[in-house]
C-alpha cells in the first residue's frame, strides 16, 4: 500500500485512532533508530525544583547582578 492510498484513510479516522497511528509510528521509528522509549509501569526519576537551594542561589545572584547593571 502506498502513502497516497493511506493518507485519505488516515484523514477519515477518529481522533483517538489518529493518535494511535502517531504512537505506532513513533515506536517504529524509535526501534529503527535504536532509541529506548519510556516503558509503561516503570518508574523514572524526574528533576524537581524543590530543595534545589544551590540553583536558587545561582539564579538570585544572576538576578541581582542584572538589576545592578540596569540601575548603574
Instruction: Note down the domain range covering 59.
Output: 3-71
User: What's the grid cell of residue 70?
Assistant: 540596569
Alpha helices, DSSP H, located in the chain: 3-12, 15-33, 53-71
If one counts the domains in the chain, the total is 1
Average pLDDT rounded to a whole number, residues 53-60: 91
Give every CB contact of residue 59 below 8 A, 6+ residues apart in sequence. none
Segment 29-46, tens digit of pLDDT: 999 999 888 888 999 898
Inter-residue contact 29 to 39 (CB < 8 Å): no
Task: List, in order, residues 6 or more apart from 55 with CB less than 8 Å away.
Answer: 49
Q: Is the pTM of this model over 0.85?
A: no
CA atoms of 9 and 6, how far apart (whole Å): 5
Amino acid at each position: 500500500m502506498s502513502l497516497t492510498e493511506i493518507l485519505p484513510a488516515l484523514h477519515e479516522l477518529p481522533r483517538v485512532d489518529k493518535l494511535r497511528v502517531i504512537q505506532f509510528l513513533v515506536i517504529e521509528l524509535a526501534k529503527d533508530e535504536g532509541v529506548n522509549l519510556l516503558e509503561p509501569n516503570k518508574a523514572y526519576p524526574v528533576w524537581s525544583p524543590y530543595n534545589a537551594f544551590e540553583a536558587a542561589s545561582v539564579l538570585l545572584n544572576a538576578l541581582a547582578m542584572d538589576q545592578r547593571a540596569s540601575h548603574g
